[in-house]
Amino acid sequence: MTNAHDYAKTHKEQFLEQLKDWVHIPSISTDPTRKGDVQRAAEWLAADMRRVGIENVEVLPTAGHPVVYGDWLNAGADKPTVLVYGHYDVQPADMEDGWDSNPFEPVERDGKIYARGSSDDKGQAFIHIKAAESLLTNGGKFPVNVKFLIEGEEEIGSEHLVTFVTANRDRLKSDICVISDGAILSIDQPAIVYALRGLVYMELEVHGPSQDLHSGGFGGTVHNPAQALAEIITALHNPDGSVSVPGFYDDVVPLSDEERAELRKTDWAVSDWQAATGASQPWGEAAYTLRERIGARPTLEINGFASGFYGTGAKTVLPAKALAKISCRLVANQNPEKIYQLVRDYVAKITPPTIRSEVRMIHRGDPALVELHIPAMQAAISAYEKGWGKRPVFMREGGSIPIVADFRRELGVPVILMGFGLHTDGAHGPNEHFTIEMFYKGIDTAIHFYEDVAQIKS
Amino acid sequence: MTNAHDYAKTHKEQFLEQLKDWVHIPSISTDPTRKGDVQRAAEWLAADMRRVGIENVEVLPTAGHPVVYGDWLNAGADKPTVLVYGHYDVQPADMEDGWDSNPFEPVERDGKIYARGSSDDKGQAFIHIKAAESLLTNGGKFPVNVKFLIEGEEEIGSEHLVTFVTANRDRLKSDICVISDGAILSIDQPAIVYALRGLVYMELEVHGPSQDLHSGGFGGTVHNPAQALAEIITALHNPDGSVSVPGFYDDVVPLSDEERAELRKTDWAVSDWQAATGASQPWGEAAYTLRERIGARPTLEINGFASGFYGTGAKTVLPAKALAKISCRLVANQNPEKIYQLVRDYVAKITPPTIRSEVRMIHRGDPALVELHIPAMQAAISAYEKGWGKRPVFMREGGSIPIVADFRRELGVPVILMGFGLHTDGAHGPNEHFTIEMFYKGIDTAIHFYEDVAQIKS
């Protein structure tokens, strides 16, 4: 065991307290009223990076929320350069969504820290900052050259990051990219994700009368926009759970028998799925296993909708309009822009003349597939074996990190996805939490990763 | 012209200013935080009633919001007693619903007064108070005995009024009941409504996962509750616009050819319907005219729904639940409780095993049909002829005043519906308003009504 591993062990309580400070800042990137908090979270991170010895730390403006950059490039020209990506912005969170405690007042319960961003992604990004602290404070040296790029717009589609990456190709030049923003299979079974779904997020709005009407005075003669929206939503799926939009599956590459066999090793038992979701029984494409439905099949999901009156009590209104948020998760070889056009055109086609409808694209991201047999992947496998104590399995992930495809395209680097969270962490939902033991193990594993990457011959 | 009519003319500006004071009080009965305002609106009314000479005025508590009662019984035992019913509570109203001005800061524009409650029903109820003022102040005598019953729970189903009426049968004993809480055909064409639809207001809730989930991590395996709710809502209508709930139409009495001929006289031109609704083209049961669909056919309307995320931006959530507010308007001979049971049972039957659903009844009211050939109706016809200058037509109304059926049942009195509003007043929607000229004409017509009723031989 090296000194950096010892340092991480003896400082773990301080690391946790620092993380609590950071997640306390409500850096909700989608909420314009939180712009100041997003900036504050960026500056908090930059200050900590400077404190631990990372060099050239800057909070760099973009057309949206800023990017935090820092590097340490003194390992020598013969050593690889690792680009570490993460994000400091978080999803919205309100007590009324079902939180048991204030989402921005972190609390420890049962070995977990509960707070928005504790797992996605402040906690996981912070693992790399604390690995850096352990390496730099204790010996003053990183085994590889390293560049940190922690952004503030991941939860709203990394809208301005591609522009930033393209404009800073030289500064970001590197050999390997590592991202910790995901889940492993269980606390006892590490996993490396080699496929990510893409995303296209849309808004579907239906308009009927020019204003809300009295449901008694007009009901029966007006095509109710809430009902019309429900009718359109219903028509977006077939009874078998597949998406009914014509052409939706055209570009999906069929899974090989070999890959299906590999994925079957990690498939969910229905009882585990029930425990994780709280739902009564699975739904979806029966020809595919649960893992395949999530990792290897595209979906169309209703993220929410609203129309008319939905408060306590009664209001006999016939609403003027209805709005739904709809997102499609996409798999490798599917194009978000094309899928948006297919959905838009299909909705236009099935919209009856009694109402008006509109589908708007909010944001999008490409799907990604990562190479399995490269040295950087071997370093990640080795790091998990040493830091976590078990060889990782390979998985397809249902979520989206669009920047993975962007990094490959813009910087030409392989992207290694070393998740340190769990699917049960409640990312994007109420009571998001991070298992403290996984935070500590993650720091140790990250130090091993940097040490193992240093062995790669260029 | 009697002195009372002159008094009303010379005091019309004061009457309007008084009405503005009253509508300024946000007496939203469905909103628990407005309980104090509801009470305040009752007390304001009671004070004005005392001021104009109405006797025995009391603000009487119920298990919900109070009832305002007052009477003047000095016309003599040979004169009929008229029970005047109205309500001082209003629908919810928020600027964000599309109001051009604060709904509780009344403003005059283009000969109209804009405010929540200006038409439904403070403005119309106040017409009778001002008719009373004109009669009592100017001569000190009403031509008939009169009892005023102005309640505070009409917009939430008059939940406690039936109990109040039953417990106060003697106090409310009367020969005729008059209600002004509706619309006439146009400012140039008065109308008397002889049929009202009943109502059953329900809440449909769908539950899936135990909490909101990440749409990437779980999407494709979970039956999305927003989608499931949309599917259930879609299944509640047939493609031809009729309600698909089995048994829904069983108790509807078919319209006679004679009644259809009478209703056709007042049917809407599509262009007028378009002007009133702002919708592109009519929808609904093609075998029935627009007026028949509204007045003579039961409906099932989505008053609103909500699920998951529907704010600005994007949140990739798979919601845990979805809620819809659903109300059925019912016609004579239909029973609200039975219709609730039919809807509840049908929803249970079509709910798939992948989700849970629940239908709860919020409130209900019986439909009503009023006699056309009684002396009180002749007095109303005559009053409109004198006060409005034109003979009224007879109409079926799409809205619901459940208390009409309750009064008939509990007190055994005929109920005359003398509306002074318009369907375009925006009752229940944004920018509710009342045409000032109709407020003035209404007061004059109400005075004529009391004078004409006094001629009825007992």
Write the DSSP assignment of A115-149 as a string of letters. Answer: STTTTTTHHHHHHHHHHHHHHHHTTS--SSEEEEE
Q: What's the rounded Cα separation, in Å, for the pair B155 and B87?
A: 9
The reply to whether residue A294 touches residue B217, judged by beta carbons under 8 angstroms, is: yes
B327 to A237: CB separation less than 8 angstroms, yes or no: no
Contact between A334 and A196 under an 8 Å Cβ cutoff? The reply is: no
How far A350 CA lies from chain B's nearest CA (Å)? 13
Taking 70 as the threshold, does the pLDDT of residue A1 lie above it? no
The radius of gyration of chain B's CA atoms, rounded to the nearest angstrom, is: 23
Q: What share of chain A is helix, strand, coil (3-state, %, to 5)?
A: 35, 25, 40
List B residues 316-335 in contact with A (Cβ-Cβ < 8 A): 316-320, 322-325, 327, 329
CA atoms of B215 and B307, how far apart (whole Å):
14
Q: Which residues contact B307 (CB under 8 A, 6 or more apart)?
A: A302, A304, A305, A306, B225, B226, B229, B319, B321, B322, B323
Residues of A in contact with B273 (CB under 8 A): 221
* Range A284-292 average pLDDT: 95
Is residue B53 helix, strand or coil?
Answer: coil
Give the Cα separation of B206 and A62 in Å (integer): 42
* Residue in A closest to B90 by C-alpha: A315
What are the tokens at A117?
């961003």
Q: Quote the pLDDT of residue A362.
A: 95
Cβ pair B222:A318 closer than 8 A: no
Provide the pairing of β-strand A317-318 with A213-214: antiparallel
pLDDT at B306: 98
Q: Tell me, what DSSP letter sits at residue B370?
A: -
- Give contacts of B 129-158 with A, CB under 8 A: 155-157
Question: Which residues, 6 or more positions from B96, have their beta carbon under 8 angstroms from its beta carbon?
Answer: none
State the virtual CA torsion across B63, B69, B73, B79 in degrees, nearest 10.
-80
Is there a contact between A30 and B312 if contact means CB atoms under 8 Å apart?
yes
ipTM above 0.95, yes or no: no
Instruction: Determine contact, residues B373/B407, Cβ cutoff 8 Å.
Output: no
The bridge status of strand A317-318 relative to strand A415-418 is: unpaired
The CA-to-CA distance between both ends of chain B, in Å, stands at: 26
- Is residue A330 within 8 A of residue A195, CB to CB? The reply is no
Distance from CA of B285 to the nearest CA of A (A): 8
Residue B238 forms contact with A (CB below 8 Å) = no
Question: Using the beta-carbon criterion (under 8 Å), do B201 and A316 form an inter-chain contact?
Answer: yes
Length of chain A equals 458
Nearest residue of A to residue B422, measured between CA atoms: A217
Chain B nearest CA to A296, separation (Å): 10
The type of residue at B275 is: A
pLDDT digits (tens, 9 = 90+) for A408-438: 889 999 999 999 999 899 998 999 999 999 9
Query: Which positions ≥6 away from A344 have C-beta within 8 Å?
Result: A202, A359
CB pair distance less than 8 Å for B302 and A307: yes
Interface test with A, best of B325, B357, B401, B424 (most A CBs within 10 A): B325
Query: Measured between CB atoms, does A419 come within 8 Å of chain B?
Result: no
**A152-178 per-position pLDDT tens digit:** 999 998 889 999 999 999 999 999 999
Q: Does A239 touch chain B (CB under 8 A)?
A: no
Q: How many angstroms separate the CA of residue B169 from the nearest CA in chain A?
A: 29
* Nearest residue of chain A to residue B301 (CA atoms): A219
At A199, is the pLDDT very low, low, confident or very high (cuts 50, 70, 90)?
A: very high
Q: What angle do CA B170, B175, B179 make, to 5 degrees?
A: 100
**Among A64, A61, A59, A62, which residue's Cα sits nearest to residue A32?**
A64
* Contact list, B302 vs chain A (CB under 8 Å): 224, 226-227, 230, 307-308, 319
Contact A329 B219 (CB under 8 A): yes
The total number of residues shown for chain B amounts to 458
Spell out a b/e string for B281-311, using b for 16 or more CB atoms within 10 Å of the CB, else e.
ebbbbeebbbbbbbbbbbbbbbbbbbbbbbe
For residue A229 the two structure tokens come to 């929206």
Which residues of chain A have a CB within 8 Å of the CB of B431? 211
> Which of the residues B181, B207, B303, B312 would you substitute to probe the A interface, choosing the one with the greatest number of A C-beta atoms within 10 Å?
B303
CA-based nearest distance A145→chain B, Å: 33
Q: Give A-chain residues touching B212 at CB under 8 angstroms.
A: 97-98, 428-430
Q: Which residues contact B104 (CB under 8 A, 6 or more apart)?
A: B23, B24, B25, B26, B93, B115, B116
Residue B200 touches chain A, beta carbons under 8 Å: no
Query: For residue A121, is the peptide bond before it cis, meaning its omega torsion is within 30 degrees of 0?
Result: yes
Cα B171 to the center of its chain, rounded Å = 25
Q: Which two tokens stand for residue B45?
A: 């009314």
Q: Which of residues 158-197 of A touch B (CB under 8 A)?
A: 183, 197
Which phi-psi region, left, alpha or beta, contains residue A199 (left: φ > 0; alpha: ψ -120 to 50)? Answer: beta
Is the pLDDT reported for residue A128 higher than 50? Answer: yes
Q: Residue A246 above 80 pLDDT?
A: yes
Chain B residue nearest residue A396, CA to CA: B217
Are residues A304 and B327, on separate chains, in Cβ contact within 8 Å? no
- pTM, rounded to two decimals: 0.77
Provide the pLDDT for residue B2.
55
Q: Do B217 and A427 touch (CB under 8 A)?
A: yes
Q: Tokens 């994000």 label which residue?
A: A87
Bond prior to B37 in cis (omega within 30° of 0): no
- What is the token pair recorded at A4? 């950096």
How much of chain A, in percent, has pLDDT values that exceed 90?
83
CB pairs under 8 A between A and B: 367
Q: Note whether A398 contacts B: Cβ–Cβ < 8 A.
A: yes
Enzyme catalytic residues of B: 89, 154
Lowest mean pLDDT among A115-119, A125-129, B243-247, B393-397: B393-397
pLDDT of residue B100: 96
Position A2 confidence tier, pLDDT thresholds 50, 70, 90 = low
Q: What pLDDT was estimated at residue A217?
A: 87
Chain position carrying tokens 């003896």: A10
Name, in order, each residue with C-beta under 8 angstroms of A130's C-beta and a sequence gap of 6 or more. Answer: A8, A11, A15, A18, A52, A443
Mean pLDDT by 10 residues, chain B (458 residues): 85 98 97 97 98 97 97 96 98 94 97 98 98 90 96 92 94 96 92 91 98 93 98 97 98 89 86 94 96 94 98 94 97 95 98 98 90 89 96 87 86 94 92 98 97 87
DSSP-derived letter for residue A391 is P
E strands in A280-320:
299-308, 317-318
Q: Which domains, from first to last, does chain B contain?
A: 3-196+367-453 (3.40.630.10), 198-252+298-364 (3.30.70.360)
C-alpha B263/C-alpha B267 separation (Å) is 6
Check A325 against B314: CB less than 8 A apart: yes
Please indicate if any CB of chain B lies within 8 Å of the CB of A252. no
pLDDT the model gives residue B402: 76
Strand pairing category for A183-184 and A421-422: parallel
3-state secondary structure A46-107: HHHHHHHCCEEEEEECCCCCCEEEEEECCCCCCCCEEEEEEECCECCCCHHHCCCCCCCCCE
pLDDT for A458: 59
Contacts of A379 (CB under 8 A, 6+ apart): A416, A449, A452, A453, A455, A456
Contact list, B297 vs chain A (CB under 8 Å)? 220
Contacts of A229 in chain B (CB under 8 A): 230
Residue B240 three-state SS = coil
Cα pseudo-dihedral A224, A226, A229, A231, rounded to 10? -70
Show contacts of B9-14: CB within 8 Å, 24+ apart.
B9/B440, B9/B444, B11/B130, B11/B133, B11/B134, B12/B440, B12/B443
Q: Do A426 and B211 touch (CB under 8 A)?
A: yes
Which residue, A87, A150, A83, is CA-closest to A408? A83
A-chain CB neighbours of B220 within 8 Å are 284-285, 293-294, 297, 299, 329, 398
How many angstroms separate the CA of residue A205 from the nearest CA in chain B? Answer: 11
Short-list A182, A200, A216, A192, CA closest to A421 = A182
Q: Label residue A372 by pLDDT band (50, 70, 90).
A: confident
In chain A, which residues have their Cβ closer than 8 Å to the Cβ of B223?
A: 279, 283
Residue B323: strand pairing partners: B205, B306
Q: If you measure CA to CA, which chain B residue comes closest to A296? A: B220
Which among B231, B319, B363 has the least Cβ separation from residue A314? Answer: B363
Residue A76 burial (10 A CB sphere; 0-12, 13-18, 19+): exposed
